[in-house]
Amino acid sequence: MFHIQEKQIQTAFRDLVRIRFGVEAEIVIEQPKQSSFGELALPVAFQLAKALKQAPKKIAADLVEAAGAMPGVASLEVAGNGYINVRFDRGAYGAGLLAGEGEQPAAAAGKTVVEHTNINPNKAAHIGHLRNAVLGDTFVRMLRALGHQVEVQNYIDNTGVQVADVVVGFHFLEQKTPAEVAALIAPEEPGSLRFDYLCWDLYARTSQYYKDHPEALAWRAATLHEIEANHGPLAEMAHLVADAIVNLHLATMLRLNIQYDVLPRESEILHLQFWASAFELLKDRKAIYLEEEGKNKGCWVMPSSAFRGEGDANEDSKVIVRSNGTVTYVGKDIAYQLWKFGLLGKDFYYHPLTRYTDGHDVWVSADTPQPRPAPAFGKATRVYNVIDTRQSYLQDVVVAGLRALGFDAQAEQSIHFSYEMVALSPRCCADLGIELSEEDARRPYVEVSGRKGLGVKADDLMDKLIESALGEVASRHPEDNPVAQQAVAVEIAMGALRYFLLKFTRNTVIAFDFQEALSFEGETGPYVQYAAVRAGRILNKLEERGETLPDFRAELSREAMARQLENEDCWQVLLAASRAGSALERAVTAGEPAHMARYAFQLAQEFSNFYQRFKVLDEPDRERRTFLLWMTEFFALQLKRTLSILGIAVPAYM
RNA sequence: GCGCCCGUAGCUCAGUUGGAUAGAGCGUCUGGCUACGAACCAGAAGGUCGCAUGUUCGAAUCAUGCCGGGCGCACCA
């Protein structure tokens, strides 16, 4: 509702400025510093002052004069040195909300692909992976809430070095056969170490072994070779490992309510020769060339001018095809990016991998035709790649590849949704019993490292959060049955975790700290959940007392609405609650899920304040009580919607 | 060496793209529970927005230069 009003005023003033002054101006709308200034503030007059050579105050007065009466607006005032402050017609605004205006998002044209998670399937997921997945998933929810058609892709590098290293560990270090590895994946005896945890340790051990025995790197090369040829026991083992761990990653992410549509895999990109098609395109359009001298002699390279800035002195080109004829990661990524836009002229085959309990299928790529018809994947008009900021340079090369091929529009719509890493605070390392080198101990934080086995595993963290939440639930509701307690604890724990990962803006390094992540008070997910639960409880209590919710539309006339909203506190609270749409649009435009999280917190704060101040059920005045009940219901709905955009559930009780 | 990011309250972070008196949470201190259950609320203290020039009606925000920290710049992914 709020953003509809906002937009109306924006277009009204754009027209006004054009008619009155003959100028096209971008109308900026702000929230006034103080609520006493009204609901919206327009600094247009300042913008125009220079061009028109007039005082801002005079321009503002002119505009207010020319504007006259506007629908939904009670008054326009010139304030300060030339601000135009807008006050809404409160009765009309309330009536509009009651009528449910402005709830349907306009459907957007085209499909948006969001690629996130992308964990190497060779070990358990850690907190860094969680940040990626939660950011990606939340952004997907935000886009969908705005009416966009979104496809979620999770790229699986099942043929890479990381998987190979775990295979090296099993085969060369532990002399295990594929059958023995399969037994580890589905262990007979309960209580055995889960497979992704086991691989976590093995991967760290293999990495250390390379360090101590550099000659062992030949094992890696041999393994990669066999994986690429796709036959032999090592290749078989690689498939076993990767498939098993992909399943575990899906389960881990599902705990956080994160789902996918399709898993494109590196193995199919190889087998279906996506690269061969991309290579032909790149050669045809002269985007890459065969280097004939220097250190890159014999390689196909992309010239640095394609992806570096003008003034960049670094002249190094980027190798796309190695001198031995194999393609680099970036090359494969260009092919993949082309496919996402439907520009490659090839497609995967697909088969359903699993079905979520809500009936939604996750599909995975296949290299041969499959019996079940699959949805149309790819062919996006816009692509977001959720990848950490350290890969900016490579993402630039991929986009430069599109541009060099003449796909400027698609290059423009290839968005690196970058974010900073999750590191470990020194205190967190101490909690984990990790010994730090003297150099590391002096740093503000320590980088997570899969190779060193240094990090907080996603499932461990979730378990810890659930345990902590369960303690709280059990002490507050000792009478409730353990199954229900557990369910509530899980929702609280996951809410806390998602919120914790979202409250930081994308380019802030999170120095992970158990104490902060485990907090359920203050600016946290549970705080917001608690507000939603309390709103719901008022409505439930009403029913317990044998009453039913009034028919608000029948009982609250526009005049009654205006009367009730004369109360400044009620008005401010209602305004805040109705800003969800506006907050969502701004957050999507800024590409910042953190903004949505912040709005959720503010909304919860407003409600907590309202809850404290107005005793809804004890209110003696009939009209006022009806109004307060309506506000409560409205809050409950807004809180629930906002939380669902953040992927956070509203528990049955708290 | 080159490129990107960061520096805001004791701590952790926001700051709506250049606007009105710089905001939250945590921590500290003071006060508030008889079920609309306090995972909450009210209040207080706490700031040279790293430093310096500049741009203009107006700068935490833009430009330049320093200082301090982080991350990239492979025929690894």
pLDDT per residue as tens digits for the range A478-507: 999 999 999 999 999 999 999 999 999 999
* Cβ(A99)–Cβ(A108) below 8 Å: no
Average pLDDT over residues A52-62: 83
pLDDT confidence band for A48 (50 / 70 / 90)? confident
Give the range with max mean pLDDT: A19-23, A54-58, A183-187: A183-187
| Nucleotide nearest residue A446, measured CA to C1' | B70
Taken as a whole, chain A contains a residue count of 654
Distance from CA(A150) to C1'(B8), angstroms, rounded: 37
| Nucleotide nearest residue A479, measured CA to C1' | B37
The order of strands in the sheet holding A40-42 is A40-42, A83-88, A73-79
Q: How far is CA A388 from the centre of its chain?
A: 12
Distance from CA(A204) to C1'(B76), angstroms, rounded: 16
CA A10, CA A84: separation in Å to the nearest integer?
A: 12
pLDDT of residue A102: 67
Distance from CA(A445) to C1'(B10), angstroms, rounded: 19
Please provide the DSSP assignment of A261-294 as one string.
SEE-BHHHHHHTTHHHHHHHHHHHTTSSEE--SS
Average pLDDT over residues A629-643: 96
Distance from CA(A629) to C1'(B28), angstroms, rounded: 38
What's the CATH number of domain A457-654, 1.10.730.10, 3.40.50.720, 1.20.1250.20, 3.40.50.12160?
1.10.730.10
Residue A541 has, within 13 A of its CA and on its CB side, a CA count of 14
| Nucleotide nearest residue A423, measured CA to C1' | B70
| Nucleotide nearest residue A586, measured CA to C1' | B16
The CATH homologous superfamily to which domain A2-88 belongs is: Arginyl tRNA synthetase N-terminal domain (3.30.1360.70)
Average pLDDT, chain A: 92
User: Does A310 have pLDDT greater than 50?
Assistant: no
Q: Residue A172's closest CA among A137, A130, A210?
A: A210
Residues A477, A479, A485, A491: what is their CA dihedral angle, to the nearest 10 degrees? -30
Distance from CA(A156) to C1'(B53), angstroms, rounded: 51
Amino acid at A601: F
Question: Which residue in the block uniquely carries the two structure tokens 């031995």?
Answer: A324
- Please, which positions of strand B sit below 7 A from a protein CB? 1-6, 12-17, 19-21, 23-27, 32, 36-42, 56-58, 69-77
Sign of CA dihedral A132, A138, A142, A148: positive
In SS3 terms, A501-547 reads as HHCCCCCCCEEECHHHHCCCCCCCHHHHHHHHHHHHHHHHHHHHCCC
Average pLDDT over residues A507-516: 92
Distance from CA(A230) to C1'(B13), angstroms, rounded: 49
Mind listing the pLDDT tens digit for each residue in A608-621? 999 999 999 999 99
pLDDT of residue A624: 94
Burial readout A401-432 (b: 16 or more C-beta within 10 A, e: otherwise): bbbbbebeebbebbbbbbbbbbbbbbebbeee
pLDDT of residue A315: 63
| Nucleotide nearest residue A531, measured CA to C1' | B40
Distance from CA(A314) to C1'(B73), angstroms, rounded: 8
Residues A564, A570, A576, A579: what is their CA dihedral angle, to the nearest 10 degrees? -10
Question: Which residue in the block uniquely carries the two structure tokens 């701004």?
Answer: A586
Three-class DSSP category at A571 = helix
Average pLDDT over residues A446-450: 86
Mind listing the pLDDT tens digit for each residue in A245-283? 999 999 999 999 999 999 999 999 999 999 999 999 999
pLDDT confidence band for A381 (50 / 70 / 90)? very high
pLDDT of residue A223: 94
pLDDT of residue A67: 85
Mind listing the pLDDT tens digit for each residue in A71-127? 899 999 888 778 899 999 999 999 999 988 766 677 778 999 999 999 999 999 999
pLDDT of residue A440: 79
Please classify residue A233 by burial: count the beta carbons closer than 10 Å to its beta carbon, then call 0-12 exposed, 13-18 middle and 19+ buried. Answer: middle
What are the residue ranges spanned by the domains of chain A? 2-88, 159-259, 457-654
Least-confidence region, from A38-47, A200-209, A350-359: A38-47
| Nucleotide nearest residue A49, measured CA to C1' | B57
Please provide the DSSP assignment of A433-499 as one string.
TPPPPHHHHHSS-EE-BTTTTBS-BHHHHHHHHHHHHHHHHHHH-TTS-HHHHHHHHHHHHHHHHHH
